């Protein structure tokens, strides 16, 4: 982690619906345009064990049915896991991603612009809400999730062009 005050790291997952819809580049571009630096990235097929590690408290918080919906959905296609670094990265990413339920997400947010499913629609059909991305909710969650998805040697320290020339 960078030692500059206010600089944080956060985990973002581009969920199977984002990957299948070909939105990875557009979503990553938005983060980079907001001066968030990609310090780790990989594509992974989530399996049951990884789902359990990532969603370790989901069953306790929302029940087994919700956990099963999410775990099953996350295993329907590849996921792109990304660690972003930047000033107030956690809150910045959450604001850019938008509300959990796409029908409630503001225009201009990733979910507001690209997602389409409401909570009611998902509940009526017994499916997970296809909302394109997961973003860590706070610093503790980010630290835990980054550790689930990446080994320390998979996270890179480097200067962006702006950092290199504007020290």
Give how far the C-alpha of residue 145 lies from the chain's centroid of Cα atoms, to the nearest Å. Answer: 10
Q: Which of 134, 156, 164, 166 is catalytic?
A: 134
Look up 134 and say whether it is catalytic.
yes
Residue 8 to residue 136: CA distance in whole angstroms? 11
Helix, strand and coil content of the chain, in percent to the nearest 5, comes to 50, 15, 35
Residue 120 to residue 103: CA distance in whole angstroms? 10
Q: Which helix (H) or strand (E) holds 81?
A: strand 79-87
- Nearest-CA neighbor of 28 among 93, 76, 72, 91? 93
Residues designated as active site:
134
């Amino acid at each position: 982690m960078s030692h500059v005050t206010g600089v944080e790291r956060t985990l973002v997952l581009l969920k199977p619906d984002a990957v299948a819809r070909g939105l990875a580049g557009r979503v990553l571009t938005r983060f980079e345009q907001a001066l968030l630096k990609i310090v780790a990235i990989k594509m992974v097929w989530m399996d049951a064990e990884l789902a359990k590690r990532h969603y370790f408290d989901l069953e306790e918080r929302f029940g087994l049915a919700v956990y099963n919906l999410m775990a099953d959905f996350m295993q329907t296609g590849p996921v792109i896991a990304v660690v972003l670094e930047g000033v107030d990265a956690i809150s910045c990413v959450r604001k850019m991603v938008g509300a959990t339920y796409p029908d409630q997400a503001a225009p201009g947010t990733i979910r507001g612009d690209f997602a389409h499913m409401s909570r009611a629609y998902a509940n009526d059909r017994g499916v997970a809400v296809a909302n394109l991305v997961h973003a860590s909710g706070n610093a503790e969650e980010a630290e835990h999730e980054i550790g689930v998805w990446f080994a320390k040697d998979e996270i890179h320290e480097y200067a962006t062009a702006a950092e290199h020339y504007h020290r």
